[in-house]
A and B are shown apart, each in its own frame.
Chain A
Amino acid sequence: MSRLPLVVLIATVALLAMGLVRPTQLGTTVGLASGSALPGMLHASTTPEDAVRSLFDDVRRRDFNRAYSQVANSSDVALAAFTRDLTGTHGSLKTYSGLESFETQLMHATDDDALVRVRLHWATAVGAIYEMRDLKVVREGQTWKVVWPAPSEPKVPPQVVPVTYLRWDVINRGPEDDWGTQNVDAPRVRIISMSAADNRNGVVVLGEIVNEDTVPAFVDVNATLLDAQGNPLAQESSFDKISHTLLPAGVSPYRIDFPGMKLDRVKSVRMDAKALLVPASADPVIAILNQRLDTAPQGKQVLRGELVNQSGQVVNISQVLATYYDNNGKVIWVSSGYVDQALLPQMPQPFQLEIPEDIAARVQTYRVVVNHYNSGQS
């Protein structure tokens, strides 16, 4: 019993000695931030693609210092601007996102420079967002570095934007009121078009809904697919493929997806439009300028345009919803996409929506609306 302290002491000394002699099994040193750059310890990129991959690996780890060290034109692009370009500003969707994965493709290369296309897959609060960038890469000695395009940070000139503020507030019947006491009616909304179609992912139900009332409405459209016996096959809602807040006379498209469903099993569709009276503001007004159908570099048909926030306040997150019509005026597709940058007052912000190949050929005309979300505002 009396030898036990001595044994413990010897074992402790032995373990300490082993720890000093043998290297650790951990990849990083505990206490240092993972991936921190140490001078002279950077990975040297031997190919243009390697340089882009290395940079975006660091972006994925949110190690922007290390990523910036692989930028060739650091004299043109400050670290802060580079970081803002990748992390977003003004509470935009990008500020709620992280780089999930990326793919690179060498487009062109010489001994001294190259062009690398990178497809970025961002994981955001509203789902995946894909971005494509073509980056120039230059050789500096034995290594390749990325020429980062100088981010154009729009600056709003100091000014006063007069806004006639218009807002609806709602006072509802209280719980202590008599049952006969009048309440304000729910807004009157109407589905003005509806069609069901097969697509490669299943069945989609498309159409438009209008607020026919003089008060704002929070709308949601649900659809139930019924079989020949009238039994429900599936039920879904429009989720975010709709402009939920409809001002008076406002028209929104809706799209309801039924993945894995076949149209030949469906006999009829039961529609249900729900409308709630909600407080709302008539501002901001967002103009959608220079809308045009175009072909993207990958050969896909896209709808392009620019959003201009006509108010004096920043719009944090915006969503573009496009309705496509055939030559009979029938809604044939509804697509949507989020803009990852905030809308600064009066500053155009480009957007692009992909149109499925089978739809693109039938598009005769289209209509675009914008949803907006501002943090801390209803």
Chain B
Amino acid sequence: MRKLPFTFLLLIFGGVGVANPAELRVPPMVTAGNTFSIATSGRGEADFYLVGPGHVARQKIRLGEEIRIAGTDVRISGRYLAILRSAEGNTSAAFFVSAETPASLSFLAHPSRVPVGESQGIGAVAFPLDKFRNLVLQPVDVRFELQAKDAPPVSLVVQTKSGVAWTPMDSSRKAGVALLTAAVNGFRSTRVIQQVAATPCGLRVKAQRTARGLLVETDPVRDCLGNPVPDGTIVSFTIIGRKGKSTVDAPIKRGVASTQIPDPGAASISVASSVVIGNEIRVGEGQ
């Protein structure tokens, strides 16, 4: 009677040893899209499940043989779970699938329009992606290059951290289209940045009498760096004469803003654009 507990324990442990499920030996890291094998132990048949981000696969396998995982089953990077279900019990093992080498970029450039001469006015952010559109988390070098018209290109190399490379850049002093490029592993992605003139500087108005009245016109409207202010920018003329105040909001066309109004006689004429105020002139009666 005293041997009974010992025998019982022996049976239990012995039983566990007999019912021990098959083992899975997964590789610690797998590259996306690559075919690989998972070794198993045990005997008999089993169901194998592979559960990954956005993909689940199932196959019948023979225990003790290697399970061949096709590259198409591991195209998405992330954590995968390999599960074995057999008569001896269930077992599972996790492994990671990492992205392949960069094959493309998601590239964000902001803003699409930036005033000239703005320090750190442009933001460039690049996400290197492999051929399966997985984010490449391993550090890689991304080359950013800003190419403006009539200016030497500005470039710098930034290493990705957690799959992202970003840098601020200065806009150039010359207005016009600039091409901002991000390149990795020979793959390039380009964005267009419109570098636009800043607010008008030294806004000046002049007036002359014509057969149709008074022609009021600005000098060519430029910003403080000498860039022409874009056509379409509103310039406000204010003419104060005997009959009251006359105003015209005229767009810049071909670099100047102008308007023709009936002759107001003696008048003072001022000019402004948005919150920028220009000069003021006076015209005399019939002058």
Contact = CB atoms under 8 A, between A and B. Distances in A.
Contacts of A168: 232
Contacts of A184: 112-113
A310 interface: yes
Contacts of A310: 248, 259-260
Interface string B93-130: 00000000000011111111100000000000001000
Contacts of B254: 164
Interface string A110-148: 000000000000000000000000000000000000000
Contacts of A248: 230, 232-234
Nearest to A282: B251
Interface stretch (B42-50, B67-75, B238-246): B238-246
Contacts of A249: 199, 233-235, 273-274
Contacts of B249: 250, 285, 369
Interface string B187-220: 0000110101101000000000000000000000
A48 interface: no
Given A164-B254, A182-B191, A212 B232 contact: no
B1 interface: no
A182 B243 contact: no
Size range of the chain B interface in the assembly: 35 or more
Contacts of B253: 164, 166, 282
Interface of A: prevailing SS: loop
B273 A289 contact: no
B275 interface: yes
Contact of B233 (A180, A214, A292, A368): A214
B65 interface: no
Contacts of B234: 247-251
A183 interface: yes
A210 interface: yes
B251 A247 contact: yes
Contacts of B250: 285
B158 interface: no
Interface string A352-367: 0000000000000001
A367 B244 CA distance: 12
Contact of A285 (B111, B194, B246, B259): B259
Given A210-B275, A214-B230, A247-B232, A179 B247 contact: no
Contacts of A290: 243-246
Contacts, number: 104
Contact of B259 (A178, A179, A287): A287
A216 interface: yes
B261 interface: yes
A78 interface: no
Interface residues of A, number: 38
B231 A289 contact: no
A207 interface: no
B245 A291 contact: yes
A225 interface: no
Contacts of A305: 244
Interface in A201-229: 210-216
B272 to A, nearest CB: 9
Nearest to B125: A180
A159 to B, nearest CB: 11
A308 B191 CA distance: 43
B111 A289 contact: no
A102 to B, nearest CB: 31
A192 interface: yes
Given A185-B112, A310-B259, A368 B247 contact: yes
Nearest to B212: A346
B7 to A, nearest CB: 67
Contacts of B110: 185
Given A185-B111, A287-B259, A166 B247 contact: no
A292 B259 contact: no
B262 interface: yes
Contacts of A180: 105-108, 127
A367 B259 CA distance: 18
Given A185-B111, A247-B233, A291 B196 contact: no
Contacts of B106: 178-180
Nearest to B126: A180
A352 to B, nearest CB: 13
A288 interface: yes
Given A214-B233, A250-B249, A310-B259, 18 more contacts: A184-B112, A185-B113, A214-B197, A216-B232, A247-B233, A248-B233, A248-B234, A249-B233, A249-B274, A250-B274, A251-B234, A282-B253, A289-B244, A289-B261, A290-B244, A290-B246, A305-B244, A367-B247
Among all A-B residue pairs, the 7 with the closest Cβ atoms: A180-B106, A292-B244, A282-B251, A249-B274, A290-B243, A289-B246, A248-B233
Interface of A: 164, 166, 168, 178-180, 182-185, 192, 210-216, 247-251, 282-283, 285, 287-292, 305, 308, 310, 367-369
Interface of B: 105-113, 127, 191-192, 194, 196-197, 199, 230-236, 243-251, 253-254, 259-262, 273-275
16 contacts: A164-B254, A166-B253, A178-B106, A180-B107, A180-B127, A182-B192, A184-B113, A214-B196, A247-B234, A249-B274, A287-B248, A289-B244, A290-B246, A292-B245, A310-B248, A369-B249
